[in-house]
Amino acid sequence: LAASLAALAVFAVLAAPARAQAPAAAPPVPTVEEIRAAFAKASTGNVADAVDEATGVRGFMSADMKPVFRAKIAGPATTVLLRRALRTDTRAWPNLQIQALDEAPPGSVLVEVLEDGLDTAGVGNLMATAAKVRGLAGMVIDGGARDVDEIEAIGFPVWSRSVTPATSVGRYVPVAKNVPVVCGGVPVRPGDWIVADATGAVVVPVEALPRVVLLLAQYDDKETKMVPLIRDTKSMGKALEKYNRY
């Protein structure tokens, strides 16, 4: 009987379902100030890496998305979608592009998408002036920019996929504002964060912000330790072996 009870006990232990491991605690939700501080310190390369790791999908825009002049920005997106229109189209389209500009809160990034619009400018000196005095962080345009000397003199950061003198007036109409768009090959929703510098532009989905901010801190900690090790050992391999960070 004792042997039978012992065997039964062993069987019970073996047959008992394994305890499920508690899920990892979600990272704390950062404040806007913490988000801005993290992005101000990080390169778009590290932000792109963090979005890759946090979401499993790409956040970096196409390689031709470049700044009109060297600058760095970060802020939540306000979006505008424009489509081609015939010059003979006399319908009174509401100017949603200007409405979005005038309604965008300070610190935000105006994201404009001109469908098939690389030969057409989505911003010039007047819009840049309005955005500057309204306190926007910058503009990112899937399309062109013009008046680039004036925009640089104004000091308002703009990223675009091309530079062209052609106006959008009479060529495009704004058909929607604050809707999901695809800019530089990446989905952007109102409220997603845009981070851009001289290298390019990255979209950070709003729900991924806590994880991305945490990862950026981890990357920074590793890289801060890797640089002196690389200098001392003259070896990238040794630093990589120790910290596992490219």
How far is CA 177 from each of CA 74, 94, 111, rounded to the nearest angstrom? 20, 11, 10
Is the model's pLDDT at 122 over the cut of 60?
yes
Q: What is the pTM of this model?
A: 0.85
Closest CA to 100 of 118, 122, 116: 122
Quick one: CA dihedral 157, 136, 196, 120, positive or negative?
negative
- HSE, side-chain direction, 13 A CA sphere, residue 166: 13
Q: Are 144 and 66 within 8 A, CB to CB?
A: no
Among 52-61, 120-129, 153-162, 218-227, the minimum mean pLDDT is found in 218-227
pLDDT band at residue 4 under the 50/70/90 scheme: very low
Among 67-81, 90-104, 140-154, 187-201, the minimum mean pLDDT is found in 90-104
Question: Side chain identity at 97, as an amino acid letter?
Answer: Q
Is the model's pLDDT at 8 over the cut of 50?
no
What distance in Å separates the CA atoms of residue 211 and residue 192, rounded to the nearest whole number? 14
Average pLDDT for the chain: 88
First-to-last alpha carbon distance for the chain, in angstroms, is 62
pLDDT band at residue 222 under the 50/70/90 scheme: confident
Please give the pLDDT value at position 220.
86
